[in-house]
Amino acid sequence: MTLMIVLGYFLVLIAIGMVAYRRVRNSTDEFFVAGRSLGTFVNSWAFIASLASGGSVMASVGSALALGFPFAAALVAGAPVGFVVASVLVARPLRKLGKYTVPDFFNSRFNSPMMRVVVPVLVVIASSAYIVSQLKGSAIVAGHLLGWDYQTALWVAGVVFVLYVSIGGFLSVTWNDIFQGILLFSCMVGLGVAAFSAMGDFPTAWNATLEAYPALTGAADAHSVWSYVGAFLTWATAISVLPHVIMRVYSARNVRSARVSLNTAMLLYGVMMLIVAIVLVPAAATLLPNADITDPDAIFLTLADRVFGPLGQGVLAAAVLAAIMSTTAGLLMACNSAIGHDLYRGILRPQAGQKEVIRVTQAATWVVGILCILLAINPPEFLIVLYTAAVALLASAFFAPMVLGIWWRRTTAAGAGSGMIGGAVLFGIAFAMDLPTSSEVLIGLPASFLLTVAVSLVTSSGRDDDVRDAWLATQEADETDEEAATDAEPTR
Amino acid sequence: MSRPTPTATRGEIGLLSGITVLAAIAFTPLFDSIEIAGVALIAWLLWFTMIAAPVGGLILALRSKGD
């Protein structure tokens, strides 16, 4: 039964990709940002699917039991805050800019030859690391529920998502994200209800959980306090620069829709994470007295086995795969856009036509996808920490130059470039040292801000004013007029 | 003529300030010893922030039609 449901789910994903292909094959606007006409309902579910990943869903229960509520809360609370920060600081300017990718913003704002190369390369490196961690999650789920060995599960799940991203582009990713977002949310609520019923008297179960797992209760016990701050700050800042999140902002039909969907999605995501903390964690502790917390990724699935019948297990397997594959697909879309749109068309062949760019992007999807599958064959331990490191690199490199570039008119290309390189390099050095988990961003991010400001002040000679004013001109469109124009368009 | 830089509304500044204050309180070691229902205050504050921040952001976004 479980196998049939999961295989059926894979077929639905591929079919959606093939339908999307008919729409996107001739237009980069359709391929990269779905024609910029996605409505609030669509993007809200797609944002949930983009964020809720293998780490935040599958590892959530086990991580809380192993590392404690305070650290788990610091890890999951940063992302909802990050979406709110993005909706205030970057959603309006980027949607008004009306481009495709994160590198597009830096090109428009600074027109720096160095950034034309560095930004897409960093996007590819960080996104690939994130994809590898997600692939590991998908293989664990498929292996656990279907009885497949790790490598078989890895190749099947990997090829399915590469296939639907390559043929259907961002529209395929979006349609699949809606399906996956609704499936995931419904299953998490369903699992919460089933687990709540199965664990018996809630106060008794809660108290027994706290006694059985003393690490759950304490503050700053599992890690250094800098780990707590770093985990929270990483997500609170990284969301504003995550390439698959930014592409979704570009795809919104208008500024208001982008901002409403960012916040709606995170409200629903916050509810899911509260279900994990308040219901699933005590349920796991009560129903799985001999759970192995040294393998936190497996506890979620074992709990599902315990409270769901065969049909429920199959649907939950599809939901967890949905969480993983939707995030992975979004990241793969960010990677292939960085290669096809930013590197190939932006640098190598500016004269390339739309069809050529789409074909190169589709080829890049396969190359990156297969490389990530190969890397995931021997993956690192602790899923959630690996992908947090990947997003921390992006936050350290991009957050300060982007936010200052938008809100501080004296930011120069030299300043932003220094902040970007300095933030990334210092993050890398900190990561190589024996620092507390997740605390590296506390070095990279402030350094990036300081370098951006200091170098901008030193190099503020008026040479960048024309580029800056051209960027500011894109921000003067009247949002009310824009909404009036786009309200008449159909919502996908 | 030089063009004006975008500006944030008072509501947006208030929301970001509120998040910053909540996070600062959550991570202040002074409150390490406080527990509610057996769980450290830091966890409750972060869970509260996780819900309150999107609610605030959603209210601002829904009111932003004319800005």
Residue-range domain boundaries for chain A: 2-383
Mutate to test the interface with B, among A81, A217, A406 (most CBs of B within 10 A): A81
Closest chain A CA to residue B10:
A88
Q: Which chain A residues in 173-192 lie under 8 Å from chain B, judged by CB atoms?
A: none
- Report if residue B1 sits inside a domain: no
Residue B55 lies in domain: 10-62
A271 close to B (CB below 8 A): yes
- Report if residue B16 sits inside a domain: yes
Q: Residue A429 corresponds to which tokens in the numbers above?
A: 């050095």
Closest chain A CA to residue B45:
A73
CB-closest option in B42, B47, B55 to A267: B55
Among A51, A129, A79, A138, smallest CA distance to A335 is for: A129
Judge: A217–B54 Cβ closer than 8 Å, yes or no: no
Mutate to test the interface with B, among A88, A276, A474, A486 (most CBs of B within 10 A): A88
Question: Which ipTM value was assigned to this complex?
Answer: 0.91
- Report if residue B67 sits inside a domain: no
A368 close to B (CB below 8 A): no
Q: Residue A480 corresponds to which tokens in the numbers above?
A: 């009310």
Q: What is the pTM of this model?
A: 0.85
Number of structural domains chain B divides into:
1
Q: Residue A290 corresponds to which tokens in the numbers above?
A: 């001999």
- Report if residue B18 sits inside a domain: yes
Judge: A70–B16 Cβ closer than 8 Å, yes or no: no
The pLDDT profile of chain A, 492 residues, written as one tens digit per residue, is 667 777 787 888 788 878 887 777 677 777 777 777 788 898 899 888 888 776 677 777 888 888 888 888 888 889 899 999 998 999 888 888 888 888 889 999 998 899 999 999 989 988 888 888 888 877 877 777 778 888 888 888 888 878 888 887 878 888 888 888 888 888 889 989 999 998 888 888 888 888 888 777 765 456 788 888 998 999 999 999 998 888 888 888 888 998 999 999 999 999 999 999 899 999 988 888 777 777 776 788 788 888 887 777 777 777 777 777 778 888 888 888 889 888 998 888 888 888 888 889 889 999 999 988 888 887 655 444 566 788 899 999 999 999 999 999 899 999 999 999 999 999 989 988 888 878 899 999 999 999 999 999 999 877 777 888 888 888 776 544 444 444 444 444
CB-closest option in B29, B38, B60 to A217: B38
CA-to-CA distance for A138 and A130, rounded, in angstroms?
13
Q: Rounded to the nearest 5°, which phi and psi values hold at A230? A: -65, -45
CA-to-CA distance for A303 and A371, rounded, in angstroms?
33
- Report if residue B24 sits inside a domain: yes
B24 close to A (CB below 8 A): no
- Report if residue B2 sits inside a domain: no
Give B17's contacts in chain A (Cβ within 8 Å).
Answer: none
- Report if residue B21 sits inside a domain: yes
Which superfamily does A2-383 belong to?
Sodium/glucose cotransporter (1.20.1730.10)
Among A84, A31, A55, smallest CA distance to A353 is for: A31
Specify the 3-state DSSP secondary structure of A280: helix
- Report if residue B3 sits inside a domain: no
